[in-house]
Structure 1
Amino acid sequence: MTVYNFTKTLVYGLLKPVYRMEVVGVENFPKEGGVLLCTNHIENMDPPIVGITAPRPVHFMAKEELFNVPALGKLLPSLNAFPVKRGMSDREALRKGLKVIKDGNVLGLFPEGTRSKTGEIGKGLAGAGFFALRSEAYVVPCAIIGPYKAFKKLKIVYGAPIDIASLRERRASAEETTDLIMGEISKLIQANR
């Protein structure tokens, strides 16, 4: 058993009873091929929650500072995480993300770039649109619907892949593509509250 699978099983066993997780739409998740998984961001717990509920292993970009924390920095690569410098264009992280998708894996992103202070969905950054346009990935929206409170229901909704073929064909901007992705996440939140 890999470190990823062991950790996923352990964390699922610990968190499932605390948050009474309800996972919806797993059937929408492509069984193979590169996937760009885009999720709203409401709490620090979002990456492990998505990691344990997604039907396939997820590779997350994580802020570079986390890799400087002694034990965590050693563990993160085993959990398919790789560093990204925030607040600037990190070409190495962009290359790594595209490779994850090209190799047929799942790249997980929080397009807002940081947690929402209000719990409401915020504006997405262009990175999600960049990956969607520069790859042939399935783009899967995901909504985490809180609150993160012990013994209250936490809902994780996976939507159907977003058709962005027309955006790719007309070479839409990364910003426009991210706006479309964020709109789909917002629709999932509204429909499943």
Structure 2
Amino acid sequence: MVTFYQFAKSVVKSILTPLYRIEVRGLEHFPKEGGVLLCSNHIDNLDPPVVGITAPRPVSFMAKEELFKVPIFGKMVGNLNAFPVKRGMSDRDAIRKGLKLLKEGHVLGLFPEGTRSKTGEIGKGLAGAGFFALRTDAQVVPCAIVGPYKVFRKLKVVYGSPIDMEELRSRKASAEEVTEVIMSHIRRLKEENS
């Protein structure tokens, strides 16, 4: 039976792929099973659906709490595997939910910058991505969205190889340092595919 997620993915894919001429690269790097922390740059409100339709496995995103308060839309976002996070503070419920998803072998999608880049340049990542990478055995997959979003102009979504976390985890690197490593991989992907 087709789930709401699968149905929505096929509908959104049929609209966005031709509209933005989406080209996907690096899917061979995406782990076929096990927990995956998927970290992408953030340039547009369309980033979550674009990553969702191009990733080969269902992705659960943390989404700002306000979205869940919008009538109808809030329920729909919840049905698309998203869960609320309170911005600007430590949200224990969201952290627990994210850790649980990764430990159960699901894909958790994050935009480490925490907000959209106004210039398209990749900014500094927040410590949350590093925290999830350190607290689980999930594979960390960098993703670069190479825009801009212009109708009928090519948009690239590039998935990189999982980042080797062994050394960082074994020496108990800080969450900030791990996030910076993740961001450097995303920057490199973007530069190589611009």
Instruction: State the TM-score, normalizing by the size of structure 2.
Output: 0.99
**Residue 33 of structure 1 aligns to which amino acid in structure 2?**
G
Distance 2:165 2:87 in 1: 26
**Residue 165 of structure 1 aligns to which amino acid in structure 2?**
E
Q: CA deviation at 1:152?
A: 0.1
In structure 1, the partner of 2:142 is: 141
Distance 2:38 2:100 in 1: 15
In structure 2, the partner of 1:127 is: 128
In structure 2, the partner of 1:115 is: 116
Structure 1, unaligned runs of 5 or more? none
Distance 1:16 1:173 in 2: 38
Distance 2:14 2:165 in 1: 36
What secondary structure does 1:141 align onto? strand
In structure 2, the partner of 1:86 is: 87
Distance 1:167 1:92 in 2: 26
In structure 2, the partner of 1:175 is: 176
In structure 1, the partner of 2:56 is: 55
Q: CA deviation at 1:77?
A: 1.5
In structure 2, the partner of 1:37 is: 38
**Residue 123 of structure 1 aligns to which amino acid in structure 2?**
K
**Matching of residue 6 in structure 1 with residue 4 in structure 2:** no
Q: CA deviation at 1:122?
A: 0.3
Say how many residue pairs are matched.
Answer: 193
Distance 1:42 1:77 in 2: 22
Q: CA deviation at 1:76?
A: 1.2
1:107-133 Cα distance to aligned partner (Å, 9 max, x none):
000000000011000000000000000
1:138-191 Cα distance to aligned partner (Å, 9 max, x none):
000000000100000000000000001111001100000000000000000000
What secondary structure does 1:136 align onto? coil
Distance 2:73 2:82 in 1: 11
Distance 2:73 2:100 in 1: 24
In structure 2, the partner of 1:25 is: 26
Q: Kindly, what percent of the aligned residue pairs are identical?
A: 70
Distance 1:69 1:174 in 2: 33
The runs of at least 4 aligned residues of structure 1 exceeding 3 Å deviation read none
**Residue 53 of structure 2 aligns to which amino acid in structure 1?**
I
Distance 2:61 2:69 in 1: 16
**Residue 156 of structure 2 aligns to which amino acid in structure 1?**
K
Q: CA RMSD in A?
A: 0.4
